[in-house]
Amino acid sequence: MDAYLSLAHRDGLATSCAVTSMANDVARSNARARSAYTKQVGIYLELLTKLIATDRRKSRRAKAIAALATLVGAVSMARAVNDEKLSRELLKSAADELKAQLG
């Protein structure tokens, strides 16, 4: 989580996560591109679901979906704003909240 919400990940567009970098483009793309994107989101959700410590699979999946949405949203917004302080706040707040929620 710390690596994903880092300044290096925010600034490293060439090597960054496609789920974050391509979301807007894929949303306006064809069915093939959307299917590939959906597959990658599913892979990330499975990984996160396995990492979340709780007894119920349904609860883990819901937490994984919220975590992925928070991760992707925070990085996307941190890249888009033109205020460095706000950009850093977005990343830090997302990391702090996810850690508090997920333990």
| 71 domain-assigned | yes
| 76 domain-assigned | yes
Look at the chain and report how many structural domains it folds into.
1
| 2 domain-assigned | no
Instruction: For the chain, give the mean pLDDT.
Output: 91
| 1 domain-assigned | no
Write a three-state SS string for 24-71: HHHHCCCHHHHHHHHHHHHHHHHHHHHHCCCCCHHHHHHHHHHHHHHH
**Residue that wins the pLDDT comparison between 38 and 17:** 38
- pTM score, whole prediction: 0.87
The arithmetic mean of pLDDT across residues 30-57, rounded, is 91
Quote the domain boundaries for residue 39: 7-102
| 42 domain-assigned | yes
Amino acid at the residue 100: A
Q: Note the pLDDT of residue 21.
A: 85
Provide the percentage of residues in the chain whose pLDDT is more than 70: 98
Residues 48-96 pLDDT 10s: 999 888 767 778 999 999 999 999 999 999 999 999 999 999 999 999 9
| 32 domain-assigned | yes
